[in-house]
Amino acid sequence: MAQAEETRARLLAVHPGLAVVIVPVTASGDKVLDRPLAEIGGKALWTKELDAWLLGGEIDIAVHSAKDVETERPDWLTIAAVLPREDVRDVLVGAASLAALPPGARIGTSAPRRAAQALHLRPDCSVVMFRGNVQTRLAKLDAGEAEVTLLAAAGLNRLGQTGVGAPLDPQHWLPAPGQGAIAIECRTADAATRALLAGIDHLPSRHAVMAERALLAALGGNCHSPIAVLTQAAGTDLTMRAAIFSPDGRERVDAEHRFAPGDHAGPAALAADLLAQASAAIRAHFSGPEGG
């Protein structure tokens, strides 16, 4: 809802007098919280209700966290705008750092990327499943279900909960593809809505997010695949550093590429580089050209 409110505010700033009505939709991903996302339908659980409403004409646009939108989308849908990207960092809640955790500490997360990255750094720790919104996860932490949890800085910022936990340096703890960005979809054939959304499309954020989605597509990753990536501007180019892991965090492969915005051959080359270095234990979780 915070993302929808931001979208409406940006639309009204560019198109004064435009009538924008927010239609709340409870996604399946918010209804089933006792199992990992990958076991109950993956990222489609965040989009399928909104897709149906778009298809039926009940809504004109759908507002998503970019990291929750499946890599492959129907042709009749298009990402017509990406809003200015928020903080891409993860925040560690419950301790000053992973290094400060006691031996055998429990880390609450349901994200394969966070779990693998944490276990790579702290193989003595264990991961317990945390799903739900920010309040639900913080309540689980307060109840003693884990010593720490990990949350997106962007979500905390949008909810006004700054100062919660310790942000992790993205140079050392790589974010999720699309993290911190709001992606707005509409019907591809709806030229009028696409024109309205063009006014709030933030090109640098779009270039970074679409490059990260191209990386995901080339890797053939899914909800089980631990993928982490940081994309930054380098003059007129983008630099993308990515890592893929075995789910238990024991194995990690890193690579970096530089390419022009909009050049999806760059992310594809990075994906090929990562998969070429990866062991069978990692490639089993990817279906790219070099994967399983």
The CB density around residue 136, as the number of other CB atoms within 10 Å, is: 13
Helices 265-277/203-219 angle, 10° precision: 40
**Number of residues in the chain:** 292
Cα(first)–Cα(last) distance of the chain, in Å? Answer: 38
| Catalytic positions, written as ranges | 68
One-letter amino acid identity for 65?
A: S
Question: Where would I find the H helices in 165-251?
Answer: 191-198, 203-219
Q: Round to whole Å and give the CA distance between 211 and 216.
A: 9
**DSSP classification of residue 143:** T
User: Dihedral angle at the C-alpha atoms of 129, 135, 139, 140, nearest 10 degrees?
Assistant: 0
